[in-house]
Amino acid sequence: MSTIPTISFAKVAAPKKYAHVVLCPAGEKPSALVPLADPENVLDGAAATARFTGKSKSKLDVLAPAGTNATRLVAIGLGETEKLKLTDWMALGGVTFATVASETQVAVYFDGDADAAAAFAQGYLLRSYKFDKYKTKKADDEDKSDKPHKLVIMLDEVTAARRIWTACKASAEGTILARDLVNEPANVLTPVEFAKRAASLSKLGVEIQTLTEKEMKKLKMDALLGVAQGSRNPPRMVVMKWKGGKAKDKPLAFVGKGVTFDTGGISIKPSGGMEDMKGDMGGAAAVTGLMHTLAARKAKVNAIGIIGLVENMPDGNAQRPGDIVKSMSGQTIEIINTDAEGRLVLCDALWYCKEKFKPQIMINLATLTGAVLVALGQQHAGLFSNNDELSANLTEAGLASGEKVWRLPLAKEYDKMIDSKFADMKNTGGRFAGSITAAQFLARYVGDTPWAHLDIAGTALGSPQTDINTSWSAGYGVSLLNQLVADTYEK
Ligand code: BES
Ligand code: MN
Ligand code: ZN
């Protein structure tokens, strides 16, 4: 297993045997910033030779420099520093980790404020993540000793940086938990195993309640159970409660699709790429990661996380196209396509959430439709909402966190597309507007609750490789929702 770096902050350290990193604004000489580590001005000479100018994310890497006790002297270009946003500082942290990954002790000379330093550290930590638990052999350039990797960031505002880092670290840990869950294969991460991992949040003070198949049957969650009935692995629903606010405050609710594997069921998917469907629980992973983050940083809100955990398999007991099921709400659904299973899981989870907890807002996350990839690719999640204010807050949180969303419409003309000949609705709306008709389906289960649906099929798995993520799963959604909670509900 790869170990996660230990990160600390100090005013000055005069560390020996460290890799020294200078963050260098465009046009400045790197040496001015590392008097301790580089008495011989090795970096300036190297900068001239390599034509290093401090351009954003450029690197200068001097190995085992003579005349110093540093293992390495590194300069990372910052570009124009007044333009740097916190997401840029995160990226710079990621670029820095990538450069010094093989080191065990790293010192960064940080000439910026505490917010920037904490964001830098968050990016550093996120970039260090690797999902390699199933690799029994290490590559030649990997550290075989598993020595811990230590980073010390030297700056003026140490106290503030430490305080802000507590919150940023909690966010990174939640993202990493979500990545682990999404990357995990479906033979390991069954609904029962997922529920166990979610239950371990009790160590942070999260209250956990796990509903079994029998209990869900009693609650009449037959839409969710209809999906589960084709699998040998029994379903679960986990309710996580974080009580960090006042007793009278209505909770914020987060609901996640947790299909631990989606074969499509009887409407079976083509085999090419089907292995990706181990990630069809990305919504549930984001909700679990978020609850971890809120508890770890002791967020001053009341929050509920609900995850619907099922496996969608085709066996002799699987549901068929044409079947009609009654959801917990009492509304009936004609199953047209058993591969449109996510909405069947969510409709019971959303209804249960709304009825039981009367939340002030309800946000669900789901790897719901391939169509959202066609519309938005992997750069934005699809956002659907019945509330302009919530929608605007989510959009802003997306820009601030770097986990972006883009709003798509809901309208009664689209809603009509899921009316059924035989039941109150059908579970698919035909070839056109697939992400919208899926959202219209969910909208029938939220009443007047201010609600938002995030279709994260494009962002939660098979994620683009970035400065802060080189894993298959980016852990999308944790940072976004943590930002929303902090900026909108804790101010
Ligand atoms: N889990 C899939 C959606 C998905 C696609 C997630 C690609 C991640 C990457 C979902 O359950 C599904 O199969 N949706 C169908 C809906 C259709 C049958 C109406 C789809 O998108 O094709
Ligand atoms: Mn499906
Ligand atoms: Zn699915």
Which residue out of 224, 261, 278, 280 has the highest number of ligand 1 atoms within 8 Å of its CB and is therefore the one to mutate?
280
With cut-offs at 50, 70 and 90, classify the pLDDT of residue 2. low
Question: Has residue 47 got a pLDDT over 90?
Answer: yes
Q: Report pLDDT for 37.
A: 65
Atom of ligand 1 nearest to the CA of 369: 21
Percent of the chain with pLDDT over 70: 97
- Please name which ligand lies nearest the alpha carbon of 430: 1
Residues 21-40: tens digit of each pLDDT: 999 999 998 876 666 666 67
| Number of residues that make up the chain | 491
Question: Has residue 267 got a pLDDT over 60?
Answer: yes
User: How remote is the CA of residue 138 from the centroid of ligand 2, in Å?
Assistant: 36
Give the closest residue to 305 by CA, choosing from 449, 184, 206, 218. 206
Q: Report pLDDT for 479.
A: 98
With cut-offs at 50, 70 and 90, classify the pLDDT of residue 120. very high
With cut-offs at 50, 70 and 90, classify the pLDDT of residue 41. confident
Average pLDDT taken over every residue of the chain: 96
Residue 9: φ, ψ to 5°: -125, 140
Atom of ligand 1 nearest to the CA of 437: 19
Active site residue 236: no
Nearest CA to ligand 1 atom 16: 340
* Under 8 Å between Cβ of 380 and 404: yes
C-beta 371 within 6 A of ligand 1: yes
Q: How far, in Å, CA of 48 to CA of 52, rounded?
A: 6
C-beta 340 within 6 A of ligand 1: yes
Residues 305-364: tens digit of each pLDDT: 999 999 999 999 999 999 999 999 999 999 999 999 999 999 999 999 999 999 999 999
What is the arithmetic mean of pLDDT over 120-138?
96
Q: Which of 14-18, 53-57, 301-305 has the lowest mean pLDDT?
A: 14-18
Residues 359-399: tens digit of each pLDDT: 999 999 999 999 999 999 999 999 999 999 999 999 999 99
Instruction: Calculate the CA 428 to chain-centre distance.
Output: 27
Atom of ligand 1 nearest to the CA of 262: 1
Q: Which residues surround ligand 2, an ion (CB under 5 A)?
A: 262, 339, 341
Residues 201-235: tens digit of each pLDDT: 999 999 999 999 999 999 999 999 999 999 999 99
What is the arithmetic mean of pLDDT over 5-15?
88
With cut-offs at 50, 70 and 90, classify the pLDDT of residue 147. confident
Q: How far, in Å, CA of 286 to CA of 239, rounded?
A: 14
Residues 72-109: tens digit of each pLDDT: 999 999 999 999 999 999 999 999 999 999 999 999 99
C-beta 428 within 6 A of ligand 1: yes
Give the closest residue to 89 by CA, choosing from 127, 129, 52, 121. 121
Which residue out of 310, 369, 441, 476 has the highest number of ligand 1 atoms within 8 Å of its CB and is therefore the one to mutate?
369
C-beta 262 within 6 A of ligand 1: yes
Would you call 178 helix, strand, or coil by DSSP?
helix
Q: Report pLDDT for 317.
A: 98
The pTM for the full model equals: 0.97
Active site residue 320: no
Q: Which residues surround ligand 3, an ion (CB under 5 A)?
A: 259, 262, 280, 342
**Following DSSP, what letter does each residue of 378-398 receive, concatenated?**
TTSEEEEES-HHHHHHHHHHH
With cut-offs at 50, 70 and 90, classify the pLDDT of residue 146. confident
C-beta 455 within 6 A of ligand 1: no
Question: Has residue 1 got a pLDDT over 50?
Answer: no
Burial grade of 32 (CB within 10 A; 0-12, 13-18, 19 or more)? middle
Atom of ligand 1 nearest to the CA of 427: 19
Instruction: Calculate the CA 191 to chain-centre distance.
Output: 19
